[in-house]
Amino acid sequence: MRSNLWMIDVLADLQEAAQQRGLTAFADQLRIARRVAHAEMSSHPDATPPPDGPDSAVQDVSGDDPGQDETA
């Protein structure tokens, strides 16, 4: 996972930029993407635990149904 951490850093930077610009839905989706990336990367044999922090847990507390289309 160590070689893939840069991707999580990029997602974190994008999330912060989205929040600063008031793009809350985009920031929320980036937060979810970070959790998915952590989960997937953690399942690989060379995995290391995700860093500590409020967004490090792989649990969706947003209340959004990922299988639900927002246009429906």
> Which domain, by its residues, includes 15?
9-51
- Residue 56 within any structural domain of the chain: no
- Residue 68 within any structural domain of the chain: no
- Residue 61 within any structural domain of the chain: no
d(CA 53, CA 67): 26
- Residue 59 within any structural domain of the chain: no
Q: Specify the range with the lowest mean pLDDT, choosing from 8-17, 25-34, 60-69.
A: 60-69
- Residue 29 within any structural domain of the chain: yes
- Residue 47 within any structural domain of the chain: yes
pLDDT digits (tens, 9 = 90+) for 31-58: 999 999 999 988 876 655 555 555 554 4
> How many domains does one find in the chain?
1
- Residue 38 within any structural domain of the chain: yes
Longest pairwise C-alpha distance within the chain: 40
- Residue 1 within any structural domain of the chain: no
Residue 57: which of 38, 33, 29, 30 has the closest Cα?
A: 38
Residue 38 CB-density burial (10 A; 0-12 exposed, 13-18 middle, 19+ buried): buried
